[in-house]
Structure 1
Amino acid sequence: MDMLRFATAGSVDDGKSTLIGRLLFDSKSIFEDQLAAVERTSAARGEEFTNLALLTDGLRAEREQGITIDVAYRYFATPRRKFIIADTPGHIQYTRNMVTGASTADLAIILVDARKGILEQSRRHAFLATLLRVPHLVVAINKMDLVDYDEAVYERIVAEFTEFAAGLDAADLTFIPISALHGDNVIERSPNMPWYEGPSLLHLLEHVHIASDRNLVDVRFPVQYVIRDEGRGYAGQIAGGVLRPGDEVVHLPSGSATTVERIDGPAGPVEEAFAPMSVALRLAGDIDISRGDLIARPGDRPRAVQDVDATVCWMAPGRTLTAGSKLLVKHTTRTASAEVADLAYRLDVNTLRRDETATELGLNEIGRVSLRADRPLFVDDYARNRRTGGFILVDAETAETVAAGMISPNG
């Protein structure tokens, strides 16, 4: 049974937490004591219904303010698939939280309040999802019960969002009208919207095809750990491609060629390994391989670069990113010292306009930078491989993650 990672996003009070609570409740993925606690809290707040949003708004500060301020991860499963949900906040000041939650997602659900239509935050979240190359985008038009399940309202929002999305790189875009509060079109198709002929949200989540989203062409194996027992093994998670015993591979940075003798999985030897499996490789010959090195195909290598052009989201409160900033760059399992050589522009995520006069990036701001690393990094474009095209920037003194970046040759 495979796993789907998906993120939810949307404007404040669009119903993200309620939707996740509905998915957990209707898929029978919560314990009786959890439900009882939610029922008690709902009653204490004077609510006439069980507030399923409380299943995800677990922080006391969030409950008191009625908002979600952090990325809340939840897990559930159906007979067809396992799921990891990242419930990301809607406020602009928490852009970094959405970047964190969506960076590993296979699918993003953007909620839109049927009464309000497409808002600035809806556009921003759609842009961020496509910037992060989330392969599948679902626009869930929520609170249809509050507009009397009117098809015309749904069609108007679909038309407006489709026009906006034409300027984005959204490969797979789906619209679903729902009521998270009442469960319409969440688990089962709703009789209240007979005009809607598409799948329920859970049906789509169970059946969306994600295997082809991963790069199974370019072999990329960042070495995480060297195993020393009866020989030498190299443990890590495959970031791309397919490996089999007997395959010819090349070690980077040395460029030494060798072959795969054996592949060990958690339960023993395997005849085939592919992204995102975690395995240990046994290679022929004696090559000096360390953590941070990378194994690829001889005729299909990543770029070895020290100068990196990338789009970054700055995540550090109380400080800014400027040309000349010195940081650590962590790319796959490799760490290098780096300096920001240039800040090309700051991007307004609401208007998509570039400010080429910007001299710094502040908290939650996104911009285009050039980095100079002190050692080669083995990179692909983020559009081709999110694992080898993404990185984080770290403060060397505090070990704090201060930025996330996506490598691309063109801004």
Structure 2
Amino acid sequence: MHDASPQPLTATTGGPLRGTIAVPGDKSISHRALMLSALAVGTSHITGLLEGEDVLATAAAMRAMGARAERSGPGEWQVDGVGVGGLLQPAGALDMGNSGTSTRLLMGLVASHAITATFTGDASLSGRPMGRVIAPLSQMGADITASPGGTLPLMVRGIAPAVPITYTLPVASAQVKSAVLLAGLNTPGVTTVIEPVATRDHSERMLAGFGAELSVEQSDAGRVIRLTGQAELRPQSIAVPGDPSSAAFFAVAASIVPGSDVVIRNVGLNPTRAGLFRLLRRMGASIEEMDARIVGGEPVADLRVRHTDLIACDPDPADAPSMIDEFPVLFIAAALATGTSRITGIEELRVKESDRITTMVAGLRAIGVTLEELPDGLVIEGRGGEPFAGGATIASRLDHRIAMSFAVAGLHAGRPITVDDRAPIATSFPNFLDLLRSLGASC
């Protein structure tokens, strides 16, 4: 997806961050908007779509399976759907680039159609496990052949009709939940997913918005989601809110750089995604919600973030799913707080684009942080606001969130911090550096 030669990025301490920005559209919602629009009968209109490489991989895959997905302006797309059950056999392999979300959700779509699709990806994605998705989709009747270790490249031979199942998630994973629900769309009967720990609910919200027959209720076993298959989805107009995972980098940057005062407009604050902002407030961060509103069924607000002294955190592991992608930049905040933070219950980070626990531990140690690595997390001794020592080059392991997190760290460091390769940032946040610089950052 990007040039193979590394493109180093160096961030240095400068003045305070000041100004107003708008982050790109939510990645999770963007993926789902394209997929469900491609399964509706008629033309859907999407505004605010994130146009990073991950989401573009989803758009290309939907086109390869018969939908028309065309860009009409910045973040503006029109999608002509093929209808549930109407996906066509792709002519070649579906290249997912670095996108685990695209891969897992599209595996679900293909599983209940009578087509065969081969999924490929870059080196990072090809090392990520797909077994947790393969298991339930195989129970529904799909025939899936993966590389050793349950990784890409893999082939999904879908089946129609598939078999409706009741599936209890063994680990908290919105991607697995969504894959099963998407497979259930073209499956006769009722497909049921039980999640003992609630995960982000964008799929449920959007499926209902497109007209699927779906119910959600609480039980002793957790959230029970039931989807009645073979529905006809209605085309929609979708306004994608700003991605809270992208806003997180600026919220932390403004919190740690003295004198900063930043407004981040149009941030999605779905309760299943806003865990970082809740935790930062408990650490003493100044985060003010302005103009709170509902956009397309999702809560949205503008966030004003000002620099404050942070205190250590000891987050509840039950909150991890609501901020699973934000932990790398949380580690940066915790490393500058006063006190010792103990962050556990996040073993999921070991199977992201990189092993984010080990990768962050190595990087933090290189810039002067004292910490202990645990099997499911880490213990960080905060520096009480004292800048990072810096003066190191960080191995990002082709992980966009690692790269962005250490770019933020470099804004409050005694010596510059260099990230070995900025290129992976484009997978989720193409204008990240431009926005940082617009606030006065030196990077």
Q: Structure 1-normalised TM-score?
A: 0.34
Higher share of residues assigned helix: 2
Q: Structure 2-normalised TM-score?
A: 0.32
Larger radius of gyration: 1
Higher share of residues assigned strand: 1
